Amino acid sequence: MSNNTTKDNSVYCLQGPEKLSATGSGLLNNKSFVFKDLFDVTGFVTGAGNPAWLNSHEPANKTSPLIDKLLSQGANCVGRVQTDELAYSLNGQNIHYGTPTNPIAPNCLPGGSSSGSAVAVARKDVDFSIGTDTGGSVRVPASYCGLFGLRPTLGKLDLSNAFTLSTSFDTAGIFSRDLTLLKAVFKTLSEDNTSGEATAQIYLDDTLAKSLSETRLNSLQAWCKASSIKLLGCNLLGELAMTLDDLSLLFRTIQGYEIIQEHDQWLAKYGETLDPSILLRVDWARTITSAKYDQAKTQQRDFTNKVTDHLEQLNGLFVLPTTPSGAPSLTLTGEKLADYRSQLMGLTSIAGLSGLPQLHLPMADLDEGPCGFSLMGLANSEADLIATGLALTEEEVN
**Is 36 known to be catalytic?**
yes
- Catalytic residue from among 64, 129, 137, 374: 137
Torsion of CA 259, 260, 266, 267, to 10 degrees: 100
Distance CA 383, CA 322 (A): 19
CA distances from 38 to 13, 66, 260, 341 (A): 11, 12, 18, 22
Catalytic residue among 36, 69, 156, 187: 36
CA angle 131, 133, 136 (to 5 degrees): 125
Separation of alpha carbons 174 and 117, rounded Å: 9
Amino acid at 266: W
Q: H helices of the chain, where?
A: 51-55, 65-72, 115-122, 139-144, 179-190, 206-210, 214-227, 236-240, 244-270, 276-285, 290-314, 334-354, 382-397
Kind of pairing, strands 371-376 and 358-363? Answer: antiparallel
Cβ neighbours of 2 (radius 10 Å): 7
Annotated active-site residue 160? The verdict is no
| Residue 234, strand partner residues | 205
DSSP 50: -
Closest among 142, 123, 124 to 132, alpha carbons compared? 142
Catalytic one of 113, 143, 219, 354: 113
In whole angstroms, give the CA distance from residue 104 to residue 116.
Answer: 14
Residue 31 annotated as catalytic? no
Active-site residue set:
36, 113, 137
